[in-house]
Amino acid sequence: MKKRIFTILAAAIILSSCTKTSNGPGKLSVKITDDPFNISFVESATITITKVEIRKAGGNEGNPFIVLSEDSVTLDLSKLRNGITAELLNLEIPQGNYDLIRLYVDRASLKIKGQPVAYNVKVPGGKQTGIKIFISPSLRVEGGLSSELLLDFDLSKSFVMRGNMDHSAGVNGFIFKPCIRATNNSTAGRIEGLVNDTSKVNIVNAKVWVKQDTIISTAFTDTLGHYAFVGIPAGTYSIFATQENYDTVAFTGIKVIEGNRTIQNFTITKK
Protein backbone atom coordinates (compact mmCIF):
# COMPACT_ATOMS: atom_id res chain seq x y z
CA MET A 1 0.00 0.00 0.00
CA LYS A 2 1.25 3.46 -0.82
CA LYS A 3 2.40 5.75 1.95
CA ARG A 4 -0.49 7.45 3.73
CA ILE A 5 -0.56 11.21 3.44
CA PHE A 6 -2.41 14.08 5.09
CA THR A 7 -3.71 16.45 2.45
CA ILE A 8 -6.26 19.09 1.63
CA LEU A 9 -9.02 17.38 -0.37
CA ALA A 10 -9.12 20.03 -3.10
CA ALA A 11 -5.48 19.32 -3.93
CA ALA A 12 -6.12 15.59 -3.99
CA ILE A 13 -8.90 16.00 -6.57
CA ILE A 14 -6.64 17.98 -8.89
CA LEU A 15 -3.96 15.29 -8.76
CA SER A 16 -6.26 12.36 -9.58
CA SER A 17 -6.83 12.73 -13.33
CA CYS A 18 -5.53 10.24 -15.92
CA THR A 19 -6.48 8.54 -19.19
CA LYS A 20 -9.43 6.13 -19.46
CA THR A 21 -8.92 2.61 -20.83
CA SER A 22 -11.63 0.12 -21.81
CA ASN A 23 -10.74 -3.11 -19.99
CA GLY A 24 -7.97 -2.45 -17.48
CA PRO A 25 -8.34 -1.77 -13.76
CA GLY A 26 -9.14 1.65 -12.37
CA LYS A 27 -7.52 3.32 -9.39
CA LEU A 28 -9.39 3.83 -6.11
CA SER A 29 -8.37 6.29 -3.42
CA VAL A 30 -10.12 6.06 -0.05
CA LYS A 31 -9.81 9.03 2.27
CA ILE A 32 -11.10 9.61 5.79
CA THR A 33 -12.28 12.80 7.44
CA ASP A 34 -14.20 13.74 10.55
CA ASP A 35 -17.52 15.47 11.11
CA PRO A 36 -16.68 16.35 14.74
CA PHE A 37 -18.52 16.99 17.98
CA ASN A 38 -17.35 20.01 19.96
CA ILE A 39 -13.63 19.93 19.33
CA SER A 40 -12.94 22.11 22.37
CA PHE A 41 -13.45 19.06 24.62
CA VAL A 42 -11.34 16.62 22.59
CA GLU A 43 -7.59 16.10 22.68
CA SER A 44 -7.57 13.00 20.45
CA ALA A 45 -9.99 10.45 18.99
CA THR A 46 -8.07 7.48 17.58
CA ILE A 47 -9.16 4.35 15.76
CA THR A 48 -7.04 1.46 14.50
CA ILE A 49 -8.21 -0.08 11.22
CA THR A 50 -6.77 -3.54 10.47
CA LYS A 51 -8.62 -4.48 7.29
CA VAL A 52 -10.62 -2.79 4.50
CA GLU A 53 -12.95 -4.55 2.05
CA ILE A 54 -15.23 -3.30 -0.73
CA ARG A 55 -18.23 -4.99 -2.35
CA LYS A 56 -19.04 -5.04 -6.04
CA ALA A 57 -22.68 -4.12 -6.68
CA GLY A 58 -24.84 -7.08 -7.68
CA GLY A 59 -22.28 -9.63 -6.49
CA ASN A 60 -24.53 -11.67 -4.22
CA GLU A 61 -23.08 -15.13 -4.93
CA GLY A 62 -20.17 -16.46 -2.90
CA ASN A 63 -18.01 -13.72 -1.38
CA PRO A 64 -18.55 -10.48 -3.33
CA PHE A 65 -15.99 -8.55 -1.25
CA ILE A 66 -12.53 -7.56 -2.45
CA VAL A 67 -9.85 -7.11 0.23
CA LEU A 68 -8.28 -3.69 -0.29
CA SER A 69 -5.87 -3.69 2.64
CA GLU A 70 -4.85 -5.73 5.66
CA ASP A 71 -2.35 -3.17 6.95
CA SER A 72 -2.88 -1.81 10.45
CA VAL A 73 -3.52 1.96 10.34
CA THR A 74 -4.09 4.20 13.36
CA LEU A 75 -5.74 7.58 12.73
CA ASP A 76 -6.56 10.49 15.01
CA LEU A 77 -9.97 11.61 13.72
CA SER A 78 -9.90 14.84 15.73
CA LYS A 79 -7.11 16.12 13.47
CA LEU A 80 -9.19 15.54 10.33
CA ARG A 81 -11.51 18.51 10.27
CA ASN A 82 -12.35 21.55 8.17
CA GLY A 83 -11.35 20.01 4.87
CA ILE A 84 -8.37 17.95 6.07
CA THR A 85 -8.35 14.28 5.04
CA ALA A 86 -6.04 11.30 5.50
CA GLU A 87 -5.50 8.85 2.64
CA LEU A 88 -6.28 5.38 3.93
CA LEU A 89 -5.29 3.58 0.72
CA ASN A 90 -4.65 4.17 -2.97
CA LEU A 91 -4.53 1.16 -5.32
CA GLU A 92 -5.89 -0.39 -8.51
CA ILE A 93 -9.08 -2.47 -8.37
CA PRO A 94 -11.25 -4.11 -11.08
CA GLN A 95 -13.57 -1.67 -12.84
CA GLY A 96 -17.25 -1.78 -11.94
CA ASN A 97 -19.80 -0.38 -9.50
CA TYR A 98 -19.20 -0.71 -5.76
CA ASP A 99 -21.96 -0.21 -3.19
CA LEU A 100 -20.48 -1.06 0.22
CA ILE A 101 -17.17 -0.71 2.03
CA ARG A 102 -16.32 -2.56 5.24
CA LEU A 103 -13.84 -1.41 7.89
CA TYR A 104 -12.45 -3.71 10.56
CA VAL A 105 -11.69 -1.54 13.59
CA ASP A 106 -9.50 -3.20 16.22
CA ARG A 107 -9.32 -0.39 18.79
CA ALA A 108 -10.83 3.02 19.52
CA SER A 109 -9.98 5.57 22.19
CA LEU A 110 -10.97 9.10 23.13
CA LYS A 111 -8.84 11.56 25.12
CA ILE A 112 -10.67 14.46 26.75
CA LYS A 113 -8.74 17.62 27.57
CA GLY A 114 -7.97 17.85 31.28
CA GLN A 115 -8.41 14.09 31.81
CA PRO A 116 -5.26 12.14 32.83
CA VAL A 117 -5.78 9.16 30.50
CA ALA A 118 -7.66 8.29 27.33
CA TYR A 119 -10.86 6.27 27.45
CA ASN A 120 -10.51 2.91 25.72
CA VAL A 121 -13.76 2.30 23.87
CA LYS A 122 -15.23 -1.10 23.07
CA VAL A 123 -15.87 -1.68 19.36
CA PRO A 124 -18.92 -3.98 19.00
CA GLY A 125 -18.37 -6.35 16.07
CA GLY A 126 -15.83 -4.05 14.43
CA LYS A 127 -12.91 -6.47 14.74
CA GLN A 128 -14.85 -9.64 13.84
CA THR A 129 -17.55 -8.68 11.32
CA GLY A 130 -16.45 -5.21 10.27
CA ILE A 131 -18.34 -1.92 10.09
CA LYS A 132 -20.52 -1.77 6.96
CA ILE A 133 -20.78 1.57 5.18
CA PHE A 134 -23.17 1.71 2.22
CA ILE A 135 -22.20 3.83 -0.79
CA SER A 136 -25.27 5.49 -2.32
CA PRO A 137 -25.31 6.11 -5.19
CA SER A 138 -22.77 3.38 -5.93
CA LEU A 139 -19.18 4.28 -6.77
CA ARG A 140 -18.18 3.72 -10.40
CA VAL A 141 -14.56 2.69 -11.02
CA GLU A 142 -13.50 2.83 -14.69
CA GLY A 143 -10.37 1.47 -16.33
CA GLY A 144 -7.49 3.93 -16.36
CA LEU A 145 -9.34 6.55 -14.31
CA SER A 146 -9.12 7.49 -10.63
CA SER A 147 -12.11 7.41 -8.30
CA GLU A 148 -12.16 8.92 -4.82
CA LEU A 149 -14.28 7.75 -1.91
CA LEU A 150 -14.57 9.88 1.22
CA LEU A 151 -15.49 8.34 4.59
CA ASP A 152 -16.80 11.00 6.96
CA PHE A 153 -16.91 9.97 10.63
CA ASP A 154 -19.38 11.92 12.78
CA LEU A 155 -17.70 11.95 16.20
CA SER A 156 -20.72 13.50 17.88
CA LYS A 157 -22.64 10.32 17.05
CA SER A 158 -19.81 7.76 16.84
CA PHE A 159 -18.54 8.31 20.40
CA VAL A 160 -21.53 8.41 22.75
CA MET A 161 -20.74 9.90 26.16
CA ARG A 162 -21.76 8.16 29.37
CA GLY A 163 -22.17 10.77 32.08
CA ASN A 164 -21.92 14.56 31.83
CA MET A 165 -18.88 16.83 31.64
CA ASP A 166 -20.72 19.51 33.62
CA HIS A 167 -21.93 17.12 36.32
CA SER A 168 -20.00 16.38 39.51
CA ALA A 169 -19.84 12.68 38.62
CA GLY A 170 -18.10 13.57 35.37
CA VAL A 171 -17.67 11.31 32.35
CA ASN A 172 -18.12 7.56 32.87
CA GLY A 173 -16.68 6.54 29.52
CA PHE A 174 -17.84 6.29 25.92
CA ILE A 175 -19.62 3.78 23.71
CA PHE A 176 -18.43 3.48 20.11
CA LYS A 177 -21.39 3.49 17.71
CA PRO A 178 -19.78 4.40 14.39
CA CYS A 179 -21.74 6.81 12.22
CA ILE A 180 -19.97 7.14 8.87
CA ARG A 181 -21.06 8.81 5.64
CA ALA A 182 -19.55 7.52 2.37
CA THR A 183 -19.39 9.97 -0.54
CA ASN A 184 -18.26 9.61 -4.13
CA ASN A 185 -16.08 12.71 -4.55
CA SER A 186 -16.51 12.56 -8.33
CA THR A 187 -20.05 13.90 -7.84
CA ALA A 188 -19.40 16.08 -4.78
CA GLY A 189 -18.26 19.59 -3.92
CA ARG A 190 -17.30 21.53 -0.81
CA ILE A 191 -18.71 24.38 1.28
CA GLU A 192 -16.49 26.63 3.37
CA GLY A 193 -16.35 30.08 4.89
CA LEU A 194 -15.82 32.21 7.99
CA VAL A 195 -17.95 32.86 11.05
CA ASN A 196 -17.54 36.34 12.60
CA ASP A 197 -19.48 38.50 15.03
CA THR A 198 -20.79 41.98 14.26
CA SER A 199 -17.38 43.43 15.20
CA LYS A 200 -15.71 41.20 12.58
CA VAL A 201 -14.04 39.11 15.31
CA ASN A 202 -13.47 35.46 14.41
CA ILE A 203 -15.73 33.07 16.32
CA VAL A 204 -13.87 29.96 17.51
CA ASN A 205 -15.76 26.65 17.89
CA ALA A 206 -18.91 28.04 16.32
CA LYS A 207 -21.19 25.18 15.25
CA VAL A 208 -22.03 25.04 11.54
CA TRP A 209 -24.25 22.44 9.91
CA VAL A 210 -25.55 21.58 6.44
CA LYS A 211 -29.08 20.29 5.99
CA GLN A 212 -31.13 18.80 3.18
CA ASP A 213 -34.29 17.33 4.76
CA THR A 214 -32.00 15.98 7.51
CA ILE A 215 -28.59 17.18 8.73
CA ILE A 216 -25.92 16.03 6.27
CA SER A 217 -22.80 17.17 8.09
CA THR A 218 -21.66 19.26 11.08
CA ALA A 219 -18.45 21.21 11.70
CA PHE A 220 -16.89 23.56 14.26
CA THR A 221 -14.80 26.59 13.32
CA ASP A 222 -11.05 26.70 13.97
CA THR A 223 -9.01 29.47 15.62
CA LEU A 224 -9.45 31.65 12.51
CA GLY A 225 -13.21 31.22 12.50
CA HIS A 226 -12.97 29.02 9.41
CA TYR A 227 -15.11 25.97 8.67
CA ALA A 228 -15.24 23.56 5.73
CA PHE A 229 -17.39 20.67 4.55
CA VAL A 230 -15.92 18.26 2.02
CA GLY A 231 -17.63 15.50 0.07
CA ILE A 232 -21.03 17.21 -0.09
CA PRO A 233 -23.07 15.68 -2.96
CA ALA A 234 -24.13 18.13 -5.67
CA GLY A 235 -27.48 19.69 -4.82
CA THR A 236 -29.21 22.51 -2.94
CA TYR A 237 -28.86 22.86 0.83
CA SER A 238 -29.58 25.02 3.85
CA ILE A 239 -26.67 25.97 6.10
CA PHE A 240 -26.72 27.22 9.70
CA ALA A 241 -24.23 28.70 12.18
CA THR A 242 -24.42 29.46 15.88
CA GLN A 243 -22.41 29.68 19.09
CA GLU A 244 -23.38 29.71 22.74
CA ASN A 245 -24.99 33.07 23.63
CA TYR A 246 -25.36 33.94 19.92
CA ASP A 247 -28.34 33.82 17.60
CA THR A 248 -28.55 31.14 14.90
CA VAL A 249 -28.08 32.42 11.35
CA ALA A 250 -29.41 30.42 8.38
CA PHE A 251 -29.00 30.58 4.61
CA THR A 252 -31.20 28.59 2.24
CA GLY A 253 -30.83 27.70 -1.42
CA ILE A 254 -27.06 27.09 -1.16
CA LYS A 255 -26.03 25.29 -4.36
CA VAL A 256 -23.20 22.75 -4.38
CA ILE A 257 -21.76 21.85 -7.79
CA GLU A 258 -19.61 18.77 -8.29
CA GLY A 259 -15.90 19.53 -8.24
CA ASN A 260 -16.51 23.13 -7.11
CA ARG A 261 -16.18 25.17 -3.95
CA THR A 262 -19.07 27.19 -2.50
CA ILE A 263 -18.19 30.07 -0.15
CA GLN A 264 -20.67 31.04 2.57
CA ASN A 265 -19.64 33.44 5.35
CA PHE A 266 -21.64 34.17 8.50
CA THR A 267 -22.06 37.14 10.82
CA ILE A 268 -23.73 36.06 14.06
CA THR A 269 -25.12 38.39 16.72
CA LYS A 270 -24.87 38.11 20.50
CA LYS A 271 -28.18 37.61 22.27
Domain annotation for the chain: domains and CATH numbers: 6-187 (no CATH), 188-268 (2.60.40.10)
Say how far apart CA 180 and CA 131 lie, in whole Å. Answer: 9
The predicted pLDDT at position 78 comes to 85
In this structure, what are the phi and psi dihedrals at residue 175, rounded to the nearest 5 degrees? -110, 135
pLDDT at residue 1, rounded to an integer? 35
| Structure confidence at residue 145 (pLDDT) | 83
pLDDT in the model for residue 20: 57
Regions in the chain scoring below 50 on pLDDT? 1-19, 167-169
- Percent helix / strand / coil, the chain, rounded to 5: 5, 60, 35
Half-sphere exposure of 211 (CA within 13 A, CB side): 12
Q: Answer left, alpha or beta for residue 163, where phi above 0 means left and psi between -120 and 50 means alpha.
A: left
Whole-number Å distance between alpha carbons of 33 and 153: 6
